[in-house]
Amino acid sequence: MISSYKKLHGVWRGLFSACALRRLVWVLLGGGMAIIGGCATVPPTQEMSDARQALDAARRAEATRHAPDALEGAENLLSQAEDKLSAGAFRQAQRTALAAKEEATKARAMASAISAAKAVLSEAAVIDALSPEAQELLRQAEAAAKVDDDKNAIRLAGEAAQRAQQDINGAYLAKAKLMLDEAKTFQAISAGQRAVLESAEAAYRNREGKKAYELSNKLLDELRAAQRAFQPMQPEIVSPPISPPEQPLLSSYTVKSGDSLWKISGRAEVYGNPRQWRLIYHANRKKIKNANVIRPGQVFVVTRN
C-alpha cells in the first residue's frame, strides 16, 4: 500500500511539473503556444479584449472628466490583469479583467448620464430658462460620480435633465401664451391661419411648450408681415392731435388681480399699447421669472426710453 501511495504521489508531482513547464513555455513564446490538457486555464484573451474596449468607450464618454475615480480603478485593474497574464496566472487574470470591464462600464454609464444632463441644461440656458434647482442637481451628480457613487450619480443626473426639460417647456409655454394673445388681436386672418392658431392653442393646452411656441411664432410672423404689407395701401388719414392722457404717465406700476403684462402695457397711463409688454418684461427681469406668471402686489418699473 505504501508503494502504491508513492507511485500516485510521483504521478501528481510529474503533472504539476508539466503544468509549470507549459506555463513557462507560454510566457516565453508570448502566448503563441496553446495550453493542452486540464492542468491550466486558457489565456483569457477575450476577457482582456473586452476590458480594453470598455475602457476606450468610457474615455470616449468623457469619463476622465466626469468619473475619474471609476476610470482610474478600471485602468489599474486592467494593468493588474496584464501582469497576471504575463505571469501565466490565467484564472486570476480572467477574474481581474472581468472586474476591470465592470468598473469601466460603470464609469461610462456615469459619464454618459452627466454629459446628457449637461446638454439639456445648456439648451435651457440658451433660452434663459435654466433654474437653480437643475444646476444644483447636476452639481450633486458630478460630485457623486467623482467618488465612484454610480447609482446616485446616474439618478441625480437624470433628475437634473428632467428638471431642465421642465424649465425649457415652461419657458416655451410662457412665450407661446404671449404670442397667442397677440395673434388673437388680428382681425384679418385666413382659414389656414385660423387652423394654425387652433393647433397652437391645442398644443398649449396639452403643455407641449416647444410645439405651441413654434406654431404661434410662425403664425405671428405671418400676421405681422401681412399687416405691414397692407398698411401702405391704406389712404392717408390725418389724425386729430392726441390729447394728453387723463392720468399722468406712470414710472412704476403695482400689479392688480387679473393683470397680465399684455393688459398692463395696454393701459393709457403705462404705454397705451398692449404690444409693448416686452418693455415691462425686460425692465423687470429680476422680478419676472416667467412672463406669463405675475403676482398681485408686485411693483414693476415703467421705462420711458
pLDDT for 290: 80
* Domain match, 192 and 102 both: no
* Domain match, 49 and 161 both: yes
pLDDT for 40: 42
pLDDT for 285: 84
* Domain match, 94 and 160 both: yes
Q: Three-class SS of residue 294? A: coil
Strand pairing class (252-254; 299-301) = antiparallel
Q: Three-class SS of residue 289? A: coil
**In one letter, which amino acid is 138?**
L
How many structural domains comprise the chain?
3
* Domain match, 51 and 160 both: yes
Beta-carbon contacts of residue 90 (< 8 Å; ≥ 6 apart): 35, 40, 41, 42, 43, 44, 84
Domain of residue 267, CATH code: 3.10.350
Residue 13 lies in a domain: no
* Domain match, 156 and 225 both: no
pLDDT for 260: 87
* Domain match, 212 and 287 both: no
* One pLDDT digit (tens) per residue for the chain, 305 residues: 434 443 333 333 333 333 444 444 444 444 443 443 333 458 999 999 999 999 999 999 999 999 999 999 999 999 999 999 999 999 999 999 999 999 999 999 999 999 999 999 999 999 888 999 999 999 999 999 988 899 999 999 999 999 999 999 999 999 999 999 988 888 888 889 899 989 999 999 999 999 999 999 998 898 888 887 765 554 555 555 545 445 567 788 899 988 888 888 888 888 888 888 888 888 888 888 887 788 898 999 888 76
* Domain match, 197 and 157 both: no
* Domain match, 56 and 141 both: yes
Q: What radius of gyration, in Å, describes the C-alpha atoms of the chain? A: 36
pLDDT for 247: 56
Domain of residue 190 covers 184-231
DSSP string across 116-129: HHHHHHHHHHHTT-
Residue 89 lies in a domain: yes
The answer to whether 138 touches 157, Cβ cutoff 8 Å, is yes
- Cα separation, 76 vs 79, in Å, equals 5
* Model confidence, pTM: 0.60
Backbone angles phi, psi at 156, to 5 degrees: -65, -35
What is the number of residues in the chain? Answer: 305
Backbone angles phi, psi at 92, to 5 degrees: -65, -40
pLDDT for 232: 55
